[in-house]
Every structure is written in C-alpha cells, then in structure tokens.
Amino acid sequence: MPSKSSTAAATRPPDWHLLEAEDIARHHEVSLHHGLHEDDAATRRQRHGSNAIAGTDKVSAWRLLLRQFTDFMILVLIAAAGVSALLGDWSDSLAIVVVVLLNGLVGFGQAWRADRALEALKKLAPQKATVVRQGRARKVDAHELVPGDVVLIEAGDQVPADLRLAHVARLQVDESALTGESVAVEKHADALRQPVPALGDRRNMAYKGTLVSNGSARALVVATGMSTELGKIAQLMTGSDGQQTPLQRRLADFGKRLALAVLAVCAVVFVAGLLRGEPVVPMVLTAISLAVAAIPEALPAVVTVLLALGARRMASLNALVRRLPSVETLGSVTFICSDKTGTLTQNRMHVEELRSDAQEGLLLLALALCNDAEPSATGFLGDPTETALLSAAQAKGLDIDEARRRHPRLIEVPFDSQRKRMTTLHAFDAGVVAYTKGAPEVVVPLCVSRVALGGSAPIDVRAVLAEAEAMASRGLRVLAVARRAHASMPAAQTDALETELQFIGLVGLIDPPRAEAAEAVRSCRSAGITAVMITGDHPGTALAIARRIGIVPAEPASGVRLLTGADLEALSDEALRETVRACRVYARVDPTQKIRLVRALQAQGEFVAMTGDGVNDAPALKQADVGVAMGRTGTDVARESASLVLLDDNFATIVGAVREGRRIYDNIRKFVRYAMTGNSGEIWTIFLAPLVGLPIPLLPIHILWVNLVTDGLPGIALAGEAAERGVMQRPPRPPQENFFDGGLWQHVLFVGLLIGGLSLALQAWALSHSPQHAQTIVFTALTLMQMAHVLGIRSEIDSLWRIGLGSNLPLLGAVFLTLVLQLVIVYAPFAQPWFKTVPLTAYEFGLCIAASLIVLVAVEGEKGWRRARQTGTEKMAGA
C-alpha cells in the first residue's frame, strides 16, 4: 500500500513553469494553434468541474441567531431574568432581556456577514474569456474553461485561469493583488531552469484574477477553479474560522468563575439564615436576590456601548470597524504583521537616485525621450516605472512636451523580457541620436565609453556594474541609460542600433515609504508592539524599506532579520515557532506561508494584527486576531476578510486605533472593578450580618434596586473616560491576563469589605439609636458609597483631583441622577410603601455621606500607594 506522501506526490500536478509550452500541450493532448475540440472540452469539464470559486454551505438565519445565545454568561443572564420575573421585578427582568437581545443581534449581524469575503473573492473571476477551440477564437463564459484550453489574453483582460504562457508580445501583468509585487511583471514564454517557489518569480505563468496591463499572449490553461492559486486562497479562507478575541475569552472565563462563586455564596447565606432561625421563604428570596445582584447584568450592555462608542471614535480616525470585538482586541496586539506595498509604502515608483558623470540635463533628456509614458491632465499615464522617470525629469525642470517636440521619435526597438532593454531614435540638428535604457547587466557591456563633462571618457564596465549592484543592494530598481549619435538615419537593425554605446548614467527607483510610517513604527515600539513586514516583493527591496522606517536597524545586527519564502518552506512548524520572534522581514512569501507565520506567532501566545490590501492577504487577515485591510487601494476580498478597514490606507492610523483599543479595555476593566466591588460590598453586608449577630440588613427589593441603579447609568458613563496617562508607553497586556489581574481582585476584596464593614457599623448604630431606620440607612449608605467609589476609580493611577470632576460630564450627570432617585425613594411618600423606606434625619443622612467619603479616601489612598510604587520602580530601572 503506497504511503500518504507517495500518493500525494503521484497526484501533485507538474511544475508547469519548468516545462516547455510544447511539452505541456502534448501532456494535455492539444494543439497550441487549433485548441481543443468542443466535445473534448465538455468531457474535461465533467472531470475537472467548473472553472469557478466554490462557495460555502449556507447556515440558516435562525441557526445563526440561536448560536448567539449559547455563551455561558448569556445563559446566566437569561436565568437571572427569569429569577427577576419570579420575584415580580419586571423592570429588572426586561432590562436584562433587552441587553441579551442587543448582544445577540450584534453577534448575528457579524456572523451573517462572515461569508461575504468568499463572495467577494468569487467576484474576482472574469466573466468572459477568449478561447481557441477547433481552430477558431471566440468568447465564452470563463467558468467553461478546462485544463488544456488555449486562451488569448491582451491588455485590460483579467486572467481567466492559471495559464502557462506559450507566445507573448510585450506582456506585462499586474499581480500586486496576488503577490504583493508593486509594479507590473514582465512575462516571457521560456521554461525556467530551476524550481522557483515564489509565484512572483514564475515569469512564464499568469494567474487567475490578475490583470493584463500591457501586451498580449497565447497561453495554455493548466489549472481551473479551486485548483488555481486564487482557488487555493479560497480554500485557506474557508478553513480559517478566526479566533475568539481576548475580550471574548476573558468575558467567558469571568462569567464561569463568577457564576460558581455566586452560587457558593448564596448557598452559604441561605444555610446561615436557616441556622439562625430565619423563615425559609424570606431566606430563599434573599439568596435569589443576592444571586441576581451579584451578577453584573449590565456588563454585556456596557461592553457593547463601550465598543460601539470606540468604533465611532475610530471612524473619526479613519479606521472603520467591521467586527465590534476587534475594537478592544487592538489594545492586546503584540505583533503587527504589515504588508509592504501600499501599506508601508506609497504604492508608486519614485526616482531615488540619478548618477551620471555628464550634465544632469543630458540624463533627464534621455529619460524623457526613451519613454512610452504620456503626459495627462492628472500627471502621466503609462507603466509605473516610466511615469516615475517622467515625473523625475519634470521635477528637475525639464519641459517634457518641448523636449519631445524638438526631438521627435523616429523609430523604436521595444522592450522585451529577453533583451531587457529598449531603444528609441530621435531627430537632432546634427543628425540622429539613439537612446537605450534597460538592465545594467545588459546595457553597460554594450558601452564603449561614457559621457563626461569634457566630452567622452573611457568606461570601466566592472566599476559601473559594481555601482549598480550597490544601488540594488539598497533596495533600488536600477536602470542604465546610454546613447549613440548617428550622422544620419541608420538601418533599423537591433544589433547596429545597440552597439558602441556611450554610457550616460544610472537611475535608481523605489516605491518609497509613507512619510508617517517611521513615526508609526516608533510609536508601536514604545507601546511594546513589534512591527513585522511580510511581503511578496524582493528581499532587497523589502529590507531597504524596513531599514528606512525602523522595522530593522539601519546597520546589520546579530540575529535573524530576514527570511524568504524559500527559507520558510524549508523550516518545520517547530523551527518556525522558534524563529518568528526574532525575524522582522519576510520577502517573497505566498498566502499559505502568511497564514503559517500568523499561526506560529499565535502558538507563541502572541496577539497578531495583520495588515494588507490584496487577495493574497485575505486568508491571513481572517486568521489573525485583528485583520486590518486598506480601504482605498484594498480589494473587496481583503476588506470583507478584515475586522478593521483603514479608510486612508495609512499604517499610522493603526497606532491611533491601538490607543483607542487600550482605552476601551481600561474602561471595561474600570466597570468590572466598579460593579464587582459594589456587588462584593452587598454580598459581605448580607453574608456577615448573621455571623456578627445582626439581622439581614436589606430586603430583596433593596438589593435589586441598588444593583440596577448603581450598575446602570454610572457604569455606562465610564465609557467616556479618557485614556490613562502613558497608555502608549506600556507593554501590551499579557495574553493570559484575566479581568482580576493587575490588583483588581485585591481592590474588589479590600473595598468590598470596607463597604460591607461600614454598612454593618451603620446598621449596628441604627439598631441601638433608631431601629426603624436601620434598613433605610444601610440601603442609602450602600448607594452613596458606590457613587463615591465610581468617582474614585475613574483612573487606576491618577487622583480624582488631577483628572478633574468635569472631565467626564456624563458620569457626573449619572451620579447626580442616581442621588436624586435615591432621595425620591427615601423621602417621597408614594415610593416609601414600595421600597419599605422611612425618611432619614439630617444627621442620619450625614452619616451615610460620611461613609461614602471614607470609601473615596480609601480608594484615593490605594492609588497614591500605586503611584509611589510605580515611581520607585522607575527609579530602580533608571539606576
């Protein structure tokens, strides 16, 4: 029985780029001139299927909706709503139901859009294709193509399938969406002599979904449908279901722990009450009320409001949120894996260096004349490299139109991928001048001299080529420019026109980095975030850009800094996991490898953001913790796969989004700190009262009211808190951190015990001085102490006086409204029967205020201790 590996090798398709086109035609039993017979094409279509990107099985809307209510915390809330209804508290029950439905609808909306990325991918497939069958060329639906079909492509066409080129005429294909290559790729029909793993280096292939930008070709279909490179990307996307966000994981863990703790406390309270001789029914109601009170049912609502407000603020920063939980996830990101082209760079070629021993004007004139680009109202139209050359000449003061009018083109020997150069002849007063530009290794050896300021001078070919190589090592695309003067029009023969040339100079071009990219990378570093470049472009170009913007040091340093797709192919998953933390630049990477990189980082416990704009980025965008797509230049596939879309295609915008994500998580933690501390105070009050010989101090209605009022508006108003001081100068949160880390559980325990102790002290005093007011005093004191607490925890470090009372007016208004409602319950005659309250004297109310001030002072004291400890740590680090 054959092994799995041998079976895979037997069924694996040949490396088409290594075979001659004629050999491939024989393999497919087809003539390159006559194509397939219609009957043969129909037979092959039955065997290989349609040339289409397959979709995924649709999940019914009802099933999607029901899935939103299976989370543990949501189930606990549903149970709490049922208990509240049994207690007759319909308003509380209704509030919980509204919260649950709101969260369910938000989740449903996100799930309903989840498969749109694949639908957008399918739209990339061209609708029509020109196929040669039975010796005749005709248009057919692209999904009818089969392996072995002969197709014709020309400028403006989308490539309808994966093709092996057989005959080309100046063919250029824009593969940026698939490979990340920033310029159109010159294609040829020759077989490659050695295996080339990167798609961008397979110059005799054209891939489904890419765009023909120039020239034409006759080609042979070698892969269709899901077997194409575009189809493989679709398979990667259907197999990548995305990850739970850090917030979702923390909420789920928080909900489970809380539910178990609440059940245990309620059981103890119930048993303790029975042992003291309390009636069974009131103790049942008290235990159930305590359970409802202990669960912060406002938490999902607060989280949703916080995320929605954060998404709104991010939109003002040009970051459009497509998946609400990703707003907070950005604050957890430890690695940002960024595509290069159009994300860190401007996605346009730019002349970086001009090197010539002659007058610069002579080199600029050559660039303007030996050039097929044309001026337009909006700049220049044509090949990106040639438009960049014209832009440079114009920027240096050359009048393009005047130069071309004075020296009209007489003849052209066009560029092709084999000759790697082009030549144009132009009329001058003294005769005719031929200008040649192309690859240095081709043009420079054709030169017999060089143009210097004093006329002509000898040329050192080796020295010029070494200079060109040095420029290329800095990531520049280098062109050599030469000329030859003729007294009259020479015979139009290539060999005669391109010999005995005079070298004019070298031109270095690059897709330059965005002006703000370097500052954004520095901001990421100060925030403890590692920026990584993952691109399909050449290693030299990638490393040069990475050095310019600070992803890697300007000077080479020890450690792994760059890996290519071929290097990744040779690494096992285990070796890759050991390497990813040290490597900062990945070049010539294909879509499968991008997902491997993201998964390797996630396996190391990192939170990964992946930015990109092309089809090749979509699977990794979906796999990453936060997928960030480009809104202007990005493809629909990338945008539908991402959870965040940058409307300005600006890498620097991510920094603002990360800051906002950290602010939002801080505010969620503040709500958890606030709600759990208040609930803890209520639990300690009820739990300890029987143990110290006091009656149960609160009725179920009191517990539910305090929980509803104090957790409601004040908690939601915490969403408006500004970012903490130094929010972008601290490292990301550890991946395993939960809500109670960082001193939160100690705060909940300490302040909760303080609130409980003060409540019992007030109860003991009231029982000896004014027994009929005891419950109302404890009820009012609990409410006021929680209002003081919410003001105190607005910052985890800074004092209330530093941040100012007026810096969050919604919170101030919520606290004031809560106080007014409490006064109405205590002093309004119509409310007293409902809540079993009695009017308090001024002295009694003053005691409640004093208790709340003690809580505020205690919270401020804790923050003062934190500040002193932080200062001490910083001094030790500085020493």
Q: Does residue 644 or residue 195 have the better pLDDT?
A: 644
Residue 291 has pLDDT above 80, yes or no: no
Which of 51, 665, 740, 74 has the alpha carbon at shortest distance from 326? 665
Residue 316 lies in a domain: no
> End of a domain among 479, 494, 510?
510
Q: Which residues pair with 477 in a beta bridge?
A: 509
Enumerate helices (H) and strands (E) in the chain, giving the number of each. Answer: 35, 25
Query: Of residues 399 and 185, which shows the higher confidence score?
Result: 399
Contact 501, 443 (CB under 8 A): yes
Q: Is residue 324 part of a domain?
A: no
Q: Are strands 585-587 and 530-534 parallel, antiparallel or unpaired?
A: parallel
Query: Can you tell me the mean pLDDT for 50-69?
Result: 66
Locate all alpha helices (DSSP H) within 536-650, ordered by sequence. 539-549, 565-570, 573-579, 591-603, 618-623, 636-641
Helix (H) or strand (E) holding 466: helix 461-473
**Residue 494 clears pLDDT 80, i.e. is over it:** no
Residue 299, classed as helix, strand or coil, is: helix
- Give me the pLDDT at residue 735, please: 65
At residue 118, the pLDDT reads 42
The average pLDDT across 204-214 equals: 88
CA 638 to chain centroid? 10
DSSP-assigned letter for residue 60:
P
Range(s) of the domain holding residue 35:
4-55+120-236
- C-alpha closest to that of 290 among 706, 772, 818, 781: 706
Q: How far is CA 89 from CA 288, 707, 715, in A?
A: 12, 12, 21
Reply yes or no on whether the pLDDT at 7 is more than 70. no
pLDDT tens digits, one per residue of 546-575: 988 999 887 655 556 789 888 998 899 999
Is residue 229 in a domain? yes
The reported pLDDT for the residue numbered 501 is 94
Q: Are residues 369 and 337 part of one domain?
A: no
**Nearest CA among 760, 754, 822 for reference residue 787:** 822
Share of the chain above pLDDT 90, in %: 34
Is position 241 within any domain? no
Question: Which of 597, 628, 655 is the last residue in one of the domains?
Answer: 655
Q: Considering only CA atoms, which of 688, 802, 666 is closest in space to residue 744? A: 666
578 in the same domain as 478: no
In this structure, the answer to whether residues 438 and 370 fall within a common structural domain is yes
Q: 480 and 529 share a domain?
A: no
For residues 350 and 541, the answer to whether their CB atoms sit within 8 Å is no
- The enclosing domain of 479 has a CATH number of 3.40.1110.10
Domain annotation covers residue 650? yes
**Which helix (H) or strand (E) element contains residue 343?**
none
- Asked whether residue 584 falls in the same domain as residue 503, the answer is no
Which amino acid would we find at residue 86? L
Output the average pLDDT for the chain.
82
Please confirm, yes or no, whether 383 is among the known catalytic residues: no
Could you tell me if residue 321 is inside a domain?
A: no
Q: Residue 3: is its pLDDT beyond 50?
A: no
Query: What total number of domains does the chain contain?
Result: 5
Closest C-alpha among 803, 781, 776 to residue 853: 781
CATH number at residue 592: 3.40.50.1000
Q: What is the pLDDT of residue 391?
A: 94
- Helix or strand (DSSP H, E) at 100: helix 90-112
Q: Which residue has the tokens 């043969």?
A: 40
**What kind and span of H or E run contains 792?**
helix 774-792
Q: How many CB atoms lie within 10 A of CB 133?
A: 18
Residue 296 parent element (H or E): none
- Please identify which of the residues 149, 162, 339, 711 carries the catalytic annotation: 339
- From the list 204, 198, 160, the residue with the least C-alpha distance to 186 is 204
848: domain CATH number is 1.20.1110.10
Q: Are residues 738 and 831 in the same domain?
A: yes
Least confident of 131-140, 451-460, 481-490: 451-460
Q: In terms of domains, do 626 and 717 share one?
A: no
Q: Clarify whether residues 587 and 699 are in a common domain.
A: no
Greater confidence (508 vs 496) lies with: 508
Q: 169 lies in a domain?
A: yes
Helices 842-878, 774-792: crossing angle, 10 deg rounding: 30
What token pair was written down for 333? 């990101």
- pLDDT at position 634: 66
Q: Write out the H or E segment, with its range, that includes residue 381.
A: strand 379-381
User: CB within 8 A of 315, min separation 6: which ones?
Assistant: 321, 647
Q: What is the mean pLDDT of residues 258-263?
A: 75
pLDDT over 50 at 9, yes or no:
no
Encode pLDDT of 385-402 as tens digits. Answer: 899 999 999 999 999 999
Task: For the full predicted model, state whether its pTM sits above 0.85.
Answer: no
* Whole-angstrom distance, CA of residue 438 vs CA of residue 440: 6
- For residue 487 the two structure tokens come to 């007294």
pLDDT at 453: 79
Q: Are residues 38 and 74 both part of a single domain? A: no
Q: Who has greater pLDDT, 181 or 153? A: 153
**Which of 128, 164, 167 has its CA nearest to residue 145?**
128
Of 626, 655, 684, the domain-final residue = 655
186 occurs within a structural domain = yes
If asked whether residues 357 and 337 sit together in one domain, one would say no
pLDDT tens digits along 815-832: 999 999 999 999 999 888
- The pLDDT > 70 percentage for the chain reads 82
Q: Is the pLDDT of residue 787 over 80?
A: yes
Q: Tell me, what DSSP letter sits at residue 537?
A: S
With left for phi above 0 and alpha for psi between -120 and 50, is residue 234 left, alpha or beta?
A: alpha
Residues 134 and 273 both lie in one domain: no
Q: Nearest to residue 697, comparing CAs of 773, 789, 750, 786?
A: 773
Say whether both 724 and 859 belong to one domain.
yes
